[in-house]
Amino acid sequence: MPLATVNGISLNYQVKGDRAKGAAPLVVMIMGTGSPGRVWELHQVPALVAAGYRVCTFDNRGIAPSFESPSGIAIEDLVADTAGLIELLDEGPVHVVGTSMGARVAQELALAKPGLVRKAVFMAGHGRLDQFQRTLSLGEHELDGSGAKLPPKYEAALTAVMNLSPATMAQPAAARDWLDLFEFTGGPVTPGIRAQRRMDHDFDRVQAYRAITVPCLAIGFADDRMIPPYLTREVAEAIPGARYQEIPETGHFGYLEKPDEVNKTLLEFFAA
């Protein structure tokens, strides 16, 4: 993946798909807290490229080899990074897809830079956090600061509980595969990821989103414990003309649990 200088920092990005005359718009995909852009490569990028789209994925500030910004990260930084990358690629306006923290970036980008956004999709979008998310975040900060390391199996179980649907965990083979994956891909929390986790959690932007004018789709995951779907629906209800769609039997990683359904929803919205 090439490194570009954007908004005064280095960003690691990749573009897939053919750029041809009359081709479908570029899709820029924004990952959530602690995850690299390559996660989109598992399911969403192949489906979008097969449908004729070019797709840009990238590592947010905080995720190496992009600039880790260990001293701190603000949502305004991430929005400016994404806007700068779109301008660098010179293919705007683009479709924008974000999940979790990335959804919040997409929401703020659609509000601040509507000329860069053709359509926007917010998976696990949210304009605020409730008491549970704020408490969970404070607990993460305390754990990061303590230097304590959870046993891998216990950390894998917590990751599964927080990010997957009970319907997935009720399938023995699927549960085993996911738990094994989480156990063996876990590792130390980097300074950049800690900086992402320390971002402001006391925001309330719901009313501000009433000024968004680009076409928007908010996708809620029915069993999401990290960002419960009512917070995503709240964003859709605030944005004039926005659609809300809920994917059943999915948790926070719904785009990995039910990728075919998520991809179909994306493609239908972009084509409409």
Output the six-digit token pair for 193.
């990821």
Distance in angstroms (rounded) separating the CA atoms of residues 31 and 203: 20
Residue 126 contacts residue 151 (beta carbons within 8 Å): no
Q: Given its phi and psi angles, is residue 168 left (phi above 0), alpha (psi -120 to 50 degrees) or beta?
A: alpha
Residue 251 contacts residue 225 (beta carbons within 8 Å): yes
CB burial of residue 127 (10 Å; 0-12, 13-18, 19+):
buried
Active site residue 224: yes
Q: Which amino acid is at 218?
A: A
Q: How many C-beta atoms lie closer than 10 Å to residue 90's C-beta? A: 7
CB burial of residue 237 (10 Å; 0-12, 13-18, 19+):
middle
Widest distance between CA atoms in the chain: 55
Options 35, 69, 100, 137, the catalytic residue: 100
Q: What residues are labeled active site? A: 100, 224, 252
